[in-house]
Amino acid sequence: MRISISAENVGKSLSREKKINECKGAENRFASKCPSSVSPHAIRKGAITHHRNNGWPAKAVSDRADVSQEVLDKHYDKGTQSEKREQRKEFMNNL
């Protein structure tokens, strides 16, 4: 069986096809070696950032992601003061 690994499904430019039995990442113990592997932290950070950028209140994201407000503000809420103000305004208008 052959699989095609392409830029559109892994986010990287790979120039050739790989056979599953030749790919070290096809084995469970080497899954992190797969070129299309994404760490759980990257997925978590992406989800938290996505929710904050789409107007979720910080308290809701903090509770949902089980992360303190302090950590959320320090590591995930990277918008400018203007962007943060606009998010608060939109949230208040939607109440």
Residues linked to residue 18 through DSSP beta bridges, in sequence order = 3
Residues linked to residue 3 through DSSP beta bridges, in sequence order = 18
The reply to whether 49 and 24 lie within a common domain is no
The reply to whether 89 and 44 lie within a common domain is yes
Of the listed ranges 7-11, 21-25, 57-61, 79-83, the least confidently predicted one is 7-11
Question: How many folded domains does the chain comprise?
Answer: 2
Instruction: Check pLDDT > 50 for residue 10.
Output: no
The reply to whether 47 and 86 lie within a common domain is yes
pLDDT at 20 (0 to 100): 60
The reply to whether 21 and 61 lie within a common domain is no
The reply to whether 66 and 86 lie within a common domain is yes
pLDDT tens-digit readout, 35-62: 777 888 888 988 998 888 888 888 999 9
The reply to whether 50 and 19 lie within a common domain is no
* Structural domain for 48, as ranges: 40-93
Kindly tell me the burial class for residue 76, based on how many C-beta atoms sit within 10 Å of its own C-beta (0-12, 13-18, 19 or more): buried
73 closest CA partner among 90, 95, 49, 92 = 49
The reply to whether 61 and 84 lie within a common domain is yes
Amino acid letter, 23: C
